[in-house]
Copies of this chain bind each other. A is one copy, B any other.
Amino acid sequence: MRIVVLAGGIGGARFLRGLKRAVPDADITVIGNTGDDIHLYGLKVCPDLDTVMYTLGGGINEDQGWGRADETFHVKEELAAYGVGPEWFGLGDRDFATHIVRTQMLGAGYPLSAVTEALCDRWKPGVRLIPMSDDRVETHVAVTVPDSDSAEGSGERKVIHFQEYWVRLRASVPAEAIVPVGAEQAKPAPGVLEAIAEADVILFPPSNPIVSVGTILAVPGIREAIADAGVPVVGLSPIVGDAPVRGMADKVLAAVGVESTAAAVAEHYGSGLLDGWLVDTVDAAAVERVEAAGIRCRAVPLMMTDLEATARMAHEALALAEEVRGA
């Protein structure tokens, strides 16, 4: 079975681990979000690709869900001593090596997809990991940073990098607009459209529907290829009980006028793209609304509390895909 998964960072990576457990023999291609990539200290950092690679390759910091296990922070400590920031982005020493290798290879002319493949030669994630595009796409967020001593609502309107919004501001101010800069001009990386065309099933893990899966879909050709693939497309809600399972998806959903509910996210993807949708059992009441939107829906436990629970979620997603296929 050939499965294509559109993955963001932590949620996508953990789901993938469950999927591999559920169907060890499946041929899994992961199309990774690169919209939250950032240049730091002259180095190219790809947080989502690395989270998938480290998680599936056994190098992840399990507690925080990103970054490396057994990590130290001496490089960052020294950069701060030089007055070189940003200090809000937590790159560890082991993690730095990945960015150094990547930057060196990019500088030598290799596209990001080839670099990612080379990095995965070490990590052996057990999936084929392809960045959504070899072109630079950067998610930017428009915010109004309140003046500390002025009337509410006033403040400076700024457009900042997604990482600055997410990591530095912790999404503490409303996102007024979210723009995947460069996406319109980007081309899918080699292998992306081919993998979609050859897939037996396409899955959207419980990743952020706007800044993770949404950014991948913003690369011209990818959404169309998925819609036209003629195979079941099944997603898992990242919203459980009207709140994101983790992260701050509600903040970015608000920016695009989507309410933070499992049903609204399904409707946001739409029946033109999505054939099936899993909501958590606490959101069973949403099933009817999702099905009314033309998307087959089931309520099952969606908390990735451990590998077995996650594998069961993956089984449910694949079962729903077969149901869609047989319908």
In the complex, the answer to whether A94 meets B122 with C-beta atoms within 8 Å is no
Q: Given A75-B75, A122-B83, A42 and B107 touching (CB < 8 A)?
A: yes
Binds B, one of A98-106, A265-273, A277-285, A292-300: A98-106
- Give the CA-CA distance A94 to B93 in the complex, in Å: 9
**Chain copies in the assembly?**
2
Closest Cβ–Cβ distance, residue A325 to chain B (whole Å): 41
- Give the CA-CA distance A101 to B77 in the complex, in Å: 12
A78 to chain B: which residues have CB within 8 Å? 93-94, 96-98
Do most interface residues of chain A lie in helix, strand or loop, or is the interface mixed?
helix
- Give the CA-CA distance A121 to B107 in the complex, in Å: 29
A225 to chain B: which residues have CB within 8 Å? none
In the complex, the answer to whether B122 meets A97 with C-beta atoms within 8 Å is no
Q: Given A94-B78, A96-B96, A84 and B101 touching (CB < 8 A)?
A: yes
- Give the CA-CA distance A43 to B41 in the complex, in Å: 11
- Interface core residue of A72, A78, A81 (most chain B CB under 10 Å): A78
Closest Cβ–Cβ distance, residue A99 to chain B (whole Å): 10
A74 contact from B41, B43, B97, Cβ within 8 A: B97
A319 to chain B: which residues have CB within 8 Å? none
Q: Does A248 make an interface contact (CB < 8 A)?
A: no
A41 contact from B75, B81, B82, B104, Cβ within 8 A: B104
Closest Cβ–Cβ distance, residue A75 to chain B (whole Å): 5
- Give the CA-CA distance A99 to B119 in the complex, in Å: 22
Within 8 A of B (CB), among A109-125: 118-119, 121-122
Q: Does A79 make an interface contact (CB < 8 A)?
A: yes
Output the nearest chain B residue to A97 by Cβ-Cβ distance. Answer: B78
A118 to chain B: which residues have CB within 8 Å? 82
- Interface core residue of A100, A103, A107 (most chain B CB under 10 Å): A100
Q: Given A83-B122, A119-B82, A122-B82, A75 and B93 touching (CB < 8 A)?
A: yes
Can you add 12 more A-B contacts, CB < 8 Å, to A75-B93, A96-B100? A41-B101, A42-B103, A72-B72, A75-B94, A75-B97, A78-B93, A81-B122, A82-B97, A82-B101, A82-B122, A83-B121, A96-B96
Q: Can you list 9 pairs linking A and B with CB atoms under 8 Å apart? A: A41-B100, A42-B104, A75-B96, A77-B94, A81-B122, A82-B118, A82-B122, A96-B96, A96-B100
